[in-house]
């Protein structure tokens, strides 16, 4: 018997993380060339479209977290502070 990870919930979580990168990239549009933005947007769109499949893989956590780290290099999302956490 295989262990279920509630793929819908996991996929939704992953999708929201990639959408955060997409929104972050949009806010930084003026700092990158048009072709750089287009390339990253295309990659984000492709990954988001494949999330259902990726989420069902046994190594989904490693694959998706690796992709998120790669997008973070471009967007710097992890360096943005959440205003709710600032004292």
pLDDT of residue 1: 40
- Confirm whether 84 is domain-assigned: no
CA-based diameter of the chain, in Å? 51
Number of domains observed in the structure of the chain: 1
Rounded Cα–Cα distance for residues 37 and 4 (Å): 36
- CA proximity to 78, closest of 15, 28, 24, 40: 24
pLDDT tens digits, one per residue of 2-59:
444 455 688 899 999 999 999 999 999 999 999 999 999 999 999 999 999 998 889 9
- CA proximity to 17, closest of 61, 83, 56: 61
For residue 40, what are the domain limits?
A: 7-74
Q: Return the DSSP state at 58.
A: T
- Confirm whether 82 is domain-assigned: no
Count CB atoms within 10 A of the CB of residue 34: 8
pTM above 0.95, yes or no: no
pLDDT of residue 85: 43
């Amino acid at each position: 018997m295989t262990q279920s990870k509630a793929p819908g919930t996991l996929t939704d979580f992953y999708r929201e993380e990639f959408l955060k990168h997409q929104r972050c990239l949009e806010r930084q549009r003026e700092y990158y060339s048009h072709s750089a933005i287009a390339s990253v947007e295309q990659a984000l769109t492709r990954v988001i479209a494949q999330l259902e499949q990726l989420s069902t893989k046994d190594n989904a956590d490693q694959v998706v977290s690796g992709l998120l780290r790669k997008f973070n290099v471009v967007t710097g999302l992890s360096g943005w502070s959440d205003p709710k956490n600032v004292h």
